[in-house]
Amino acid sequence: MLTSPDSLKSRKELDAELGGAARAWLDEALAEAAHDAARAPAASGTPHPEASPYASPSWELRFAAAGRHCGQENADSVRSLLLAEARAPLSSVTRLYEQGTAAERRAVLLTLHLLDLGDTALPLIEDALRANDTRLVAAAVGPYAADHLDPHAWRHAVLKCLFTEVPVAAVARLADRARGDAELARMLDDFAAERTAAGRPVPEDLRTVLALTAPADEGGHPAGPTAAPAAPAPTEES
């Protein structure tokens, strides 16, 4: 199952689902994150004067343990809450992404748009889009990518979704960014032609995106490629 930012649970929803021990653990974890945020210096990513440059804040250790204490089905939501509560700086999100499991990396990607990072976290998005893990690809094309990827990189992110069979519904602001994009339409046509020439089916989602590339005053993109039935669902979450 692929996770999107919209599927993340709120603190209230988690409290309603978690048992007493898990709620207590989450209370402590979020308190540690809030404490670290309150001590944060003005310059994001600058360590506290008394902190070792090699030490990680205690909430980062909680980040890794979220699944064990709150259940794997809640891990993305808990990790996202921790990042937001800590107002995680670039140094933290980079460390958690680079040292984390695929599930931990996904949680970072799903939360980037909630953090005050500007475009400084784009290298994490770019790294995820080079992966073949569909969970990471789906998380990488969320709101942060929609806000910060340049047109060239964003078009290739859409093609990556089609190539890896990630549903284009995962692409945030797809209709807005695709509208009137003639270059994206050309790339889609080329991709469809390559698939057809190789005797491979054209993804149904390609027709969806191709129609969105029409200018706002047109009804749709002319003469789209013939699509084959949708491919099987992407890799299931472990």
pLDDT at residue 238 tops 80: no
The two structure tokens encoding residue 225: 């490629």
State how far the Cα of 105 lies from the Cα of 140, in Å rounded to an integer.
10
- DSSP character string of 123-170: HHHHHHHTS--HHHHHHHTSHHHHHHS-HHHHHHHHHHHHHHT--GGG
Q: Are 184 and 155 in contact (CB under 8 A)?
A: yes
pLDDT in tens, 158-184: 999 999 999 999 999 999 999 999 999
pLDDT at residue 152 tops 70: yes
pLDDT of residue 65: 96
State how far the Cα of 182 lies from the Cα of 113, in Å rounded to an integer.
27
pLDDT at residue 33 tops 70: yes
Q: Given pLDDT bands bounded at 50, 70 and 90, which one contains residue 6?
A: confident
The whole-chain average pLDDT of the chain stands at 87
Amino acid at 96: L
> What residues contact 49, with CB distance under 8 A and at least 6 apart?
41
What is the average per-residue pLDDT within 197-226? Answer: 78
pLDDT at residue 4 tops 60: yes
pLDDT at residue 3 tops 80: no
pLDDT of residue 1: 55
Rounded to 10°, the helix 20-39/58-70 angle is 160
pLDDT in tens, 41-86: 644 445 544 444 556 899 999 999 999 999 999 999 999 999 999 9
Q: Given pLDDT bands bounded at 50, 70 and 90, which one contains residue 87?
A: very high
The two structure tokens encoding residue 192: 């469809």
State how far the Cα of 66 lies from the Cα of 155, in Å rounded to an integer.
34
The two structure tokens encoding residue 132: 């073949």
Write the CA distances from 128 to 105, 121, 174, 197, integer angstroms: 9, 11, 18, 29
Between residues 39 and 13, which one has the greater pLDDT?
13
What is the average per-residue pLDDT within 182-189? Answer: 97
**Tally of residues, the chain:** 238
Q: Given pLDDT bands bounded at 50, 70 and 90, which one contains residue 231?
A: very low
pLDDT of residue 92: 95
State how far the Cα of 9 lies from the Cα of 1, in Å rounded to an integer.
15
